[in-house]
Amino acid sequence: MQYQFTPYALLPLCTAVVEAMLSYDTWRRRGDPASMPFLVLTFLVSLWSFGNAFELSSATVTTAFFWVRIEYFAIVSVPVVWLVMMLAFSERRSTLSRTWIASLLFVPLITTAIIWSSASTSLFWREFTIETLDPLTVIHVQRGPWFWVHTAYSYLMLAGGTFLLIRSLISAPDLYRDQSLALLVGVTAPWMVNVLYVFDLIPKAFPDPTALAFVITGLAFSWAMRNAGLFELGPMAYREVIQQMGDGVVVLDPLNRIVDINPSAARVFDVPAHQLVGQSFKQMMAGWPDLVDRYSDLLHVDRPTNMEIGIRNDDDLLVYDLQVMPLRGTRGKLSGRMLVWRNITALKQAIAQIQHQNEQLENQALILQAAKVAAEAGSRAKSAFLAAMSHELRTPLSAMLGYTDLIQYDLAAHDTVALDKDLAQIKMAGAHLLTMIGGILDYAKIEAGKMRLDLQTFPIHEVVTEAMASVRPLVERNANRIELDIPDDVGTMYADSIKVRQVLINLLSNAAKFTQSGVITLRVYAINNQHAAIVFEVIDTGVGMNEYQINQLFQDFTQVVASPLGHVGTGLGLALSQKLCNLMGGRITVMSQPDCGTTFTVTLPERVSG
């Protein structure tokens, strides 16, 4: 290959260097999808310009023809890349599938194959000659039919991309109009120069100046990327976001004229958005002159401001959260303001309702606290009173029962049957009264913290036998049968034998009251594990209970099941038994079904802790 120096080659060479630097700068800013097509575009223009520089420096037809072929790698690809870049820039990336891009490259690939094929080159150039005009090398060609196919296709691609750019320019607000104008200037310059060259509107003595026109393209694109924020946010993306926002958005210029407004903001004024563009902000707010006077300072703020404003609409008060943000250009100069407002009336109403409910809850809590304090004071007074009256109530009742025994003994010799029956009733009533009062007093002692355990080791069989003997008359009165299921080696336990016997008597008596012509079984067994325990099960075949009645058990002074024989009690026996078991570190559980009987299970530690 032979070359000769010509100063005309310096111009495209400088263009190639500028485009290469722009490619490198774009590579560092490749975050936006539209930047990748732009990167490819600048690389191709750089290749085109390098090839043009060597073409102008060629001394032979063979050398010049080689570099023209190199240039056509870029020439056939630039229009397609331009269209792809504009599709990405205008937020139409959904069309950029690999298959669709490959179809766009079909004609450029055929063109490249024709140019590099010696057999079919005449389809593109019928004649290719070189004329040396010192110090300039000029190539003359006679174009073939495929050249015009390539040219028409390239212009179609350029026209499609430019159309998308113009649409973006028309729809973009002032904030993004600069970058669109820069792109339009950058692509128009080489396109128009190429049209003049292809249609022989430039004297044939001059070479193809299209690559030189890309100097304008490089400078325009470089300014758009560095100063106008190219690729930071496409105009269509901006409009898509703003237009779909539920909040009202208004963009004002430095003179507070409306340059953009979204549909949500326009609905507040009941005017189409396009009719409001160009008006002053005061004209738009003419229906609310008091707001303009009250908040006029907001139109002159130089820092972000946030506040709540209230607008009276008929009888309703609407509350809005208003944000005013200054918009600044590349050098920090104020270029306008953006107003964003959101209707927070429902939110404010919900907050007010929650605050009102909180106040009500706080008042109720104070009332409940006062009632709790009064109830606790009353409970302490009741417990103290019952504990103090224990001795006074037990003594006369015991004396009454003692005198009843003497009367029965004295009258026995006279065989006065009627009198004996009456005295027997007195004794029975007195014993029942003593049992009830004793339970109440024991309960009061536990509530007042006065109950003490008399812990000792005792035979379990002995306590069980005594409890069964005590309740046998009541069991047999209802035609029931009582059975004992206890192993011979059950042994002893360390606890309060009186409290254990009292619990068993209460449970056996309760079973006798609610069972008629049935069987009451007391089963005793030991659990020998890490926590040794003695289990007492009282099983009856009585009326049973449902789930609701079971949940009411062990409540103070509550009898949840009516006795079939009309027995009336205080409802304190089960509650007292549960408290006595808890006092000894145990518990009572119950299983029952209606008409299937009930099983009470008492579990006590084998050794009760003091």
Is the per-residue pLDDT at 86 higher than 90? no
pLDDT in tens, 443-492: 777 776 777 888 999 999 999 998 888 888 888 888 899 999 999 888 99
Is the per-residue pLDDT at 437 higher than 80? no
Tokens linked to 505? 């008597």
Can you give the pLDDT at residue 599?
94
The interaxial angle of helices 145-171 and 78-89, nearest 10 deg, is: 20
Can you give the residue ranges of every domain in the chain?
7-234, 245-343, 352-447, 456-605
CB 596, CB 514: distance < 8 Å:
no
Can you give the pLDDT at residue 161?
82
Is the per-residue pLDDT at 8 higher than 60? yes
Can you give the pLDDT at residue 391?
45
Number of helical H runs and strand E runs in the chain = 21, 14
Element (H, E) at 86: helix 78-89
Can you give the pLDDT at residue 524?
94
pLDDT in tens, 552-568: 777 655 555 545 555 44
pLDDT in tens, 387-406: 545 545 565 566 567 667 76
Residue 510, amino acid: N
pLDDT in tens, 138-190: 666 777 888 889 889 988 988 888 887 777 666 555 545 566 677 777 777 77
CB 268, CB 287: distance < 8 Å:
no
Query: In CATH, which superfamily holds the domain spanning 456-605?
Result: Histidine kinase-like ATPase, C-terminal domain (3.30.565.10)
Q: How many CA atoms lie within 13 A of 44 on its CB side?
A: 17
- 245-343: CATH topology is Beta-Lactamase (3.30.450)
pLDDT in tens, 351-390: 888 988 998 998 898 898 888 887 776 576 566 555 545 5
Tokens linked to 577? 């038994």
Can you give the pLDDT at residue 205?
47
Domain pair 7-234 / 456-605, same fold: no
Residue 401, amino acid: L
CB 490, CB 452: distance < 8 Å:
no
CB 104, CB 157: distance < 8 Å:
yes
- Class of CATH domain 7-234: mainly alpha
pLDDT in tens, 91-145: 565 566 778 878 888 899 998 898 888 777 788 877 767 666 555 556 667 778 8
Can you give the pLDDT at residue 534?
93
Is the per-residue pLDDT at 419 higher than 70? no
Element (H, E) at 369: helix 345-388
C-alpha closest to that of 447 among 375, 495, 392: 375
Neighbours of 592 (CB within 10 A): 20
What share of the chain in percent tops pLDDT 70?
A: 69
Exposed / middle / buried, residue 445 (Cβ in 10 Å: 0-12, 13-18, 19+) = middle
pTM comes to: 0.41
Q: How many CA atoms lie within 13 A of 545 on its CB side?
A: 21
